[in-house]
Amino acid sequence: MPDVALVMLVLVIVTALIFDYVNGFHDTANAIATSVSTRALSVKSAICIAAVLNFAGAMVSTKVASTIGKGIVDPACITQMIVLSGILGAIIWDIITWYYGLPSSSSHAIVGGLIGAVVAGTGSFQALQAAGVKKIILALIISPVLGTVIGFIFVVFFTNLVKKGSPYGVNKGFRRMQVLSACFMSFSHGTADAQKSMGIITMALLSYGVIPAFEVPLWVKLACATAMAIGTAAGGWRIIKTVGRDFVKLQPLTGFSVDSAAATVILSASAFGLPTSTTHVITSSILGVGLSKRINAVNWAIAGRILTAWVLTIPASAVVAYACYLLMSPFLGK
């Protein structure tokens, strides 16, 4: 008879890596939408850059992984089925929003998925780390506000800096600089998003007893970074179009401002171990840039769709994860 716990551990690891892959193609747009929409980079070049730098960013730190792995759920209450159901809830919601071209948050999805799975597995909210959940949700709420404000400030600053230059010269210069800002954004995306799966896998390894304390093994870092890089290379044109073209019309200067503002917020949060939604931050930075022009520079219909996806993601992924737990536990155990 196979060791059921070991089989569940393998399922969790594989599913977490699938989540990283899905996160990669789902969130590729976050890093490259602006540079593609302003034609600073071709789609192929932008995706290659994003894949390489997502991998590099994922290898830098594990602070966000620790927050996800230890800050949401009481480790004593964790089972492999809870972890597996939480990841599946996030993956299913990510795929649904990707299909409809909605830039929803993979960060929100994994948080919601874990919450729903824990409630299903324990029958109450008591197993949740209230302080940790509050900290994570506050970070996910505040970061888009900072993205909007910093995006607004950056574009006003750079516009005033080059106001005496010719439009052709300004566009040419910032189109080149956008290659750097796209690299900056891709690297920051890796520091934030690959960390979630690292935290999940390490949580599962600790639950099984493979490791004595919560410390992300090197092979977990490499596996998660690779999965995200491969997913990124698969692309995400549906969301690139929504974020980079339909929401606010961008020029090289504004695109550079968006990427620089978003990457600044994400890297700052990652340094403190705070998980941010790269989707939220980049989209809010675009909103700040649009507002610097005029109110009607923003496509408010698209903004409404994006906001709807944001609001729904945590409860929707929690419900999906709850359902996954109820459906699978009779066959695979609790």
Between 250 and 311, the more confident residue is: 311
Q: Which residues pair with 248 in a beta bridge?
A: 298
- Tokens for 203, please give them: 């949580």
Q: How far apart are CA 195 and CA 2, in angstroms?
A: 31
pLDDT tens-digit map of 191-245: 887 788 888 898 888 888 888 888 889 999 999 989 888 887 776 555 555 554 5
Instruction: Enumerate the domain spans of the chain.
Output: 4-327
Residue 77 pLDDT greater than 80, yes or no: no
pLDDT tens-digit map of 290-331: 788 777 666 677 677 767 777 788 899 999 999 999 998 887
Q: What is the pLDDT at residue 242? A: 53
Residue 247 pLDDT greater than 70, yes or no: no
Q: What is the pLDDT at residue 32? A: 74
Q: What is the pLDDT at residue 1? A: 44
pLDDT tens-digit map of 252-278: 888 889 889 989 998 898 888 888 877
Q: How far apart are CA 266 and CA 274, in angstroms?
A: 9
Range 82-96 average pLDDT: 88
Q: Minimum mean pLDDT among 10-14, 55-59, 137-141: which range?
A: 137-141
3-state SS record for 36-51:
HHCCCCCHHHHHHHHH
Q: Minimum mean pLDDT among 18-27, 98-107, 151-160, 238-247: which range?
A: 238-247
pLDDT category at 53 given cuts 50, 70, 90 is: confident
Between 323 and 286, the more confident residue is: 323
Between 41 and 221, the more confident residue is: 221
Q: Quick one: 217 exposed, middle or buried, by C-beta within 10 A (0-12, 13-18, 19+)?
A: middle
Q: What is the pLDDT at residue 37? A: 74
Between 142 and 104, the more confident residue is: 142
Range 127-152 average pLDDT: 85
Range 17-27 average pLDDT: 79
Range 80-106 average pLDDT: 83
Residue 285 pLDDT greater than 60, yes or no: yes
Mean pLDDT of the chain: 82
Tell me the percentage of the chain whose pLDDT exceeds 70.
89
Q: What is the pLDDT at residue 320? A: 94
What pTM was computed for the model? 0.79
How distant, in Å, are the alpha carbons of 8, 110, 118, 158, 312 from that of 208? 9, 21, 17, 52, 33
Range 58-82 average pLDDT: 80
Q: How far apart are CA 186 and CA 49, in angstroms?
A: 8
